[in-house]
Structure 1
Amino acid sequence: MTFKELSKGQINLIKALINQKNYRKRKGLFIIEGLRATQEAINSDYAVEFIVLSDDFVKKYGGKFPGFGNVKVYKITQNLFKTLSDTKTPQGIMAVVRMKKFEIANFYEGNFLVVALDGIKDPGNMGTIIRTADAAGASGILAGKGCVDVYNPKVIRSTMGSIFHLPVVEEIDLQRVLEELSIKGAKIVVTSLGAKKSYLDADYTSPVVIVFGSEAEGVSKEILNMPSEQVKIPLFGKAESLNVAVACGILLYEAARQRRALFPL
Structure 2
Amino acid sequence: MYKITSANNPLIKEIKSLSRKKDRWIKKEYIIEGTKPIREAIIEEIKIINILYSQRLFEREEGEKLFNELKDKKNLIELEDSLFQNISSMENSQGVFALANFDALKLKDIKSSKPYIYLDEIQDPGNMGTIIRSSDAFDMGGIIIGKGCVDPFNPKVVRASMSSIFRVDLIFEDNIEIIFKTIKQLGRRILVASLDNSNDINDFVFKNDDIIVIGNEGRGVSKDIKKIADKAIKIPMRGLAESLNAGIASSIIMYELSSQS
What TM-score, normalized to structure 2? 0.91
Give, in whole Å, the separation in 1 of the partners of 2:214 and 2:199: 16
User: What is the correspondence of 1:92-241 to structure 2 with a 5 Å cutoff?
Assistant: 92-107=95-110, 109-241=111-243
Query: In the alignment, is the contact (CA less than 8 A) between 2:52 and 2:76 conserved in 1?
Result: yes
User: Are 1:199 and 1:231, in contact at CA under 8 Å, matched by a contact in 2?
Assistant: yes
Deviations 1:68-103 (A, max 9, x none): 374511112222211111111111110000111323
**Residue in 2 that maps onto 1:4:** 2
Distance in 2 of aligned mates of 1:63 and 1:233: 46
Q: Partner amino acid for 2:77? A: Y
Letter matched to residue 99 of structure 1? F
CA contact (8 A) 2:106 2:171 kept: yes
Aligned equivalents of 1:235 and 1:59: distance in 2? 46
Whether contact under 8 Å (2:112, 2:141) holds in the other structure is no
Q: Which amino acid aligns with 1:236?
A: R
Q: 1:199 to 1:179 in 2, by over 3 A?
A: farther
Provide the secondary structure at the position in 2 that maps to 1:201. Answer: coil
Instruction: Find the counterpart in structure 2 of residue 248 from structure 1.
Output: 250
The 8 Å contact of residues 143 and 174 in structure 1, kept in 2 or not, is answered as no
Moved more, 64-73 or 31-40: 64-73
Per-residue displacement from partner, 1:170-222 (whole Å, max 9, x unpaired)? 24323431231122111111100213311222222331110000100100000
Q: Deviations over 1:89-138 (max 9, x none)?
A: 1111100001113232232x342210100010001110110011000000
Name the CA distance, whole Å, in 1 between partners of 2:68 and 2:164. Answer: 19
Q: Which moved more, 1:203-212 or 1:158-167?
A: 203-212
Instruction: Name the aligned partner's letter for residue 10 of structure 1.
Output: L
Match of 1:81 in 2: 84
Counterpart in the other structure of 1:24 = 24
Structure 2, unaligned stretches of length 5 or more?
none
Structure 2 counterpart of 1:40, which letter?
E
- Pick the aligned partner of 2:75 from 50, 72, 75: 72
**Distance (Å, rounded) in 2 between the aligned partners of 1:237 and 1:253:** 20
CA distance in 1, matches of 2:112, 2:60: 46
1:235, distance to aligned residue in structure 2 (A)? 2.3
| Alignment partners' CA distance in 2, 1:186 and 1:155 | 28
Specify the alignment match of 1:262 in structure 2: none
Q: Which amino acid aligns with 1:42?
A: I
Taking only the aligned residue pairs, the percentage that are identical comes to 35
Distance 1:242 1:72, change over 3 A: same
Unaligned runs of 5+ in 1: 260-265
CA distance, structure 2, for counterparts of residue 186 and residue 214 of structure 1: 22
Give 3-state SS (helix, strand or coil) of 1:200's partner.
coil
Q: Which residue matches 2:54?
A: 54
Change (3 A) 1:113 1:83: same
